[in-house]
Structures are given as C-alpha cells and as structure tokens.
A and B are shown apart, each in its own frame.
Chain A
Amino acid sequence: MTAARVCGGFTFGEQSLFNDVALELPTGRWTCLIGASGIGKSTILRLIAGLDTGGSFNGKLETSSAVAYMAQSDLLLPWLTLRQNVNLGKRQRNEEPDNSRVGQVLEAVGLLSHADKKPAQLSGGMRQRAALARTLLEDRPLVLLDEPFSALDAQTRHQVQALAYDMLRGRTVLLVTHDLLEAVRLADQLVELTPAGVRNHTLPDSAPPRDASNPAVIACQAGLLQASHRGGVSRRA
C-alpha cells in the first residue's frame, strides 16, 4: 500500500533539478528523504503537498489531497494565541473548533498551561511543539515534514523528534532532512535523492524511533557519511 508516489523529473526553466526519481511513500510508515542541499528534496515534498515549486514536473504524481504540512519555521501566527494557532486549519475553513481535542493535543505536546500565550512568549522548542500540535489537529493521513527540527538545539531536537514520532504513529510521513542521525533514528524507509535518481539505504534492524546511542544507528550514520566522501551521497557544486 502506498499513500503517495512521485515518478519523473523536474526542471527549472532549462535547468534540470532531478531526473528519473521514483519515490513511494508506504502507508503508515516514515520515509526520510536525505541528500545534499539544493538537490530538490523540498521540491519533492512541495509537489506532494500541491504547493508552488517555481518549476515544472514531468511524470506521474499520485497523492492524497489531504495533507498536513510542517516546515522548518514554526509558522505560528504571532497575533494568535497558541490555542488559536493550533486551531488554524478549522479557523481558515470556517469550521467549528473542537475545543476538547485542541486541549488534548496541547496537553500531549506539554503546552496546555501555555495555551493562552502568544508565540513570541515561547522558546523555539515550545513553538515547534505547538506547530506539531497544529499539524496533528489537522488529522490527515499523510503528513509532510520539511526539516521541522533543524532550527532546534540538539537536546530539544532529540526530544521533539521522539514526541513527533509518537504522536504521528499510524500516519504516512515524509520527512525531508539534512540531519543524517535524525533520518537514521526515525526512518522506516531511508531514501537519498541524487541528480541521477533515488537510492534506498539499509537501516538498523531495531524499530524506530531508534536510540541515538545504539551502535548500529551510529554505524549506519557513519556509513552514510563515508558514502558521501566517496561521492556516493551526491554533492552539488
């Protein structure tokens, strides 16, 4: 079962970004997409999300129309309280807010006591947890995460990764990241994007979220790094 599928190439005007990509997102699993900066990881995510990419895609794109999206920036609206921000989807669609569910989700991410504060009063980690709560409240089967943890400090990132994995259980997730450890920790399927196409990498046997101190996780991450030195993980000039 696949929740979304992208097959094809992508060009910006005359310039080709990637060719012959074939990416499938297995239902209910985490797919982590890695690759050098500027290689088009985010473009693939935006294609699946139905967002503007600024270029043209040639190929086949199968995706569900209902996705939840979370970006590197928390995208909390500064004039709304956390509670209102978490409810943004329903506000935007003029639907009745489900206050009890908002409360549950805020409690799950540990922000219930801050529900009536504005984002400017919170730390970066708290804001990203609020963004996670907003993503959860959208309650979509397909969740697209575009480097959502990369602006956080290492310890906060570690906590928020585990929280996100826990909260998004059962959903299909595409995580675009440049953090190899993060990818190895969370992936059910680890895919590297190169100009030539995609390449699948093998993962440690243990189930995600994997312990960052697990030797197999460290070895896997080291393997990815070594591959990049040999030119296996592509670099763009």
Chain B
Amino acid sequence: MNRLKQLRDVAICAITLLALWQIVVWITGVPRYILPGPVQVLSALVDNFDLVMQHFRITAIEVLTGIVLGVSLGISTAISLMLSTPLRRVTMPMLVLSQVIPVFALAPLLTLWLGYGLASKIAMTLLIIYFPVTSSLLDGLSNTSPGYLDLARTMGASRKEVLLQIRLPAALPSLASGLRLAAVYAPIGAVIGEWVGASSGLGYLMLLANGRVKIDLMFAALFALCVFAILLRAAMGWLADRVESWSTGTTV
C-alpha cells in the first residue's frame, strides 16, 4: 500500500514537471533548437529508439562494471586497512589527498592512458565511487559498539575473528549508505568520461546531437540517462535496504 502511494506521488511529480516544461515552451515561445517540448522529445526518442538504446547499453555496461569493481575494491581496501594499523596510518592521508584532486580533472589523463573505449569510463566510474565506499565502510568498521568488543575480548577472540564476525557485519549499514552514494555518483563518472573522449555511450550521443543541433535527440538521450540513473538508484537502494536489515536483524 505504501509502495503504491509512493508510486502515485512520483507519478504526480513527473506529470507536474512535464506540464510545467510544456507551459514554459508555450509561454516563452523558445525555438525548438533551444528547448524542445516534451512531445518533441518523446517523438525524437521513438524515432531514434534503437540508436538511443545502443548507447544506453554502453553507458550501462560502463557504470555497472565500474560499480562492481569500485565496490569490491572499496570493501577490500577498508578491510585491509582495518587489519593493519601501520597500513592505515600510511594510506589514510594518501586516500584523503587523492580526494582533493577532482576526478573530472583526471578524465583527459585516463582517456590518454586507457584509450577512447570502455576502459577509461569504467576507470572514471570506479574512481568516483571508490572513496565514498571505502570511507563509509571504514567508518563503520572503526565505530563498532565498544560493548561488543568488550564481550569478544572476555571470550578470547582473535583480532581477525572480531573483524570478520563482529566489526564487519555491524558495519554493513555504513556500507549500505556507501552503496546508495555510489549509485548516485557512478553515472556521473561514466558520462564525464564519455564527454572527454568516446565513440559511444549516452554522454557521447548527447555531445553528438548537440553538435548537430538535434536538441530533441539530445534531450532524448538525457531522458534515457535519467531513467537509467533512477533504475540504478532503486536497485542499489533495494540492495542497501536488504544489507542493512540483515545487519540489524529486522525486516525491511
């Protein structure tokens, strides 16, 4: 029932936005090569459906691969940093420092090193989500309730068992917030990568359509990107909720 209400609210919101958009187009009378109306965008989407889907597929592959790699790398980094205090001391400042460099600024370099294909976009996506995942999990791992640690200590548990059996499961809600962030950031990484240099992907299609003043096609690509981002967020949110509810022993 709640789901249904939520869906209804989203639908109302979307319809309102579309109506506003159409009204702005009518009132201002902007030419269609500056701001096409929703109907024109829809018809561009229908006319170029195969083209848009072809680029959609590429962007989806980049983002999903980047997420899988970035999340795995983030989880393993956080766990290894927890296992070794000296490693954490040396690596933490490096990790924080690496965040000072905007990932966008690295895009041209990544394209230079990894080429115009999928690899540079996957690397961008990975880089943009690696830090949020690592730091959120590390934060959770190092903030285990002291009572659990006291108990484990009186039970004679080893450091490794405390990490695997107590710290890690207790930190899963923190990892879940990292996953939610990753779902938001990941498409940004891929699209930036595509803007800097690519021959496929929705970001590339947008640039291409823009260059040819096919603004309705550009909006159609943007619309596809939005749909993908929303689906990705929903899927990651679902996963994050499951992870969280397992850790807290409650039902979603």
Which residues of chain A have C-beta atoms less than 8 A from B158's C-beta?
92
Once bound together, how far apart are the Cα atoms of A78 and B172, in whole Å?
A: 12
Residues of A within 8 A of B148 (CB): 75, 77
B153-A51 in contact (CB<8A):
yes
Chain A residues with Cβ under 8 A from B172's Cβ?
79
Report the interface size for chain A: residues with CB under 8 A from the other chain: 27
User: Do residues B153 and A50 form an inter-chain contact, with CB atoms below 8 A?
Assistant: yes
Q: Does B85 contact A (CB under 8 A)?
A: no
| Cβ proximity bits B137-173 to A, threshold 8 Å, 1 near / 0 not | 0000000000110111111111001100110011010
Report A9-61 residues with CB < 8 Å from chain B CB: 46, 49-52
Is A91 in the interface zone, CB < 8 Å from B?
A: yes
Instruction: From B150, B155, B250, give the contact of A93 (CB < 8 A).
Output: B155
- Inter-subunit contact A69/B150 (CB<8 Å): yes
Q: How many of chain B's residues have a CB under 8 angstroms from any CB in A?
A: 23
Q: Is the CB of B150 within 8 A of A92?
A: no
A68 touches B147 (CB 8 A): no
Q: Is B169 a contact partner of A69 (Cβ separation < 8 A)?
A: no
Hey, which bits of chain A sit against chain B, CB under 8 A? 46, 49-52, 67-69, 71, 73, 75, 77-80, 88-89, 91-94, 118-121, 138, 144
B93 at the interface (CB under 8 A from A): no
A92's contact among B162, B169, B248, by CB below 8 Å, is which? B162
Which of A52, A68, A119 contacts B249 (CB under 8 A)? A119
Cβ-defined contact, B147 with A71, below 8 A: yes
Sampled A-B contacts (7; CB under 8 Å)? A50-B154, A51-B150, A71-B150, A75-B148, A78-B248, A92-B156, A120-B249
Cα distance A36–B8 when bound, in Å? 57
Residue of B nearest to A81 (CB): B249
Q: Is the CB–CB distance between A68 and B247 below 8 Å? A: no
With an 8 A cutoff between CB atoms, is B246 at the interface?
A: yes
Report the bound CA distance from A91 to B164 in whole Å: 11
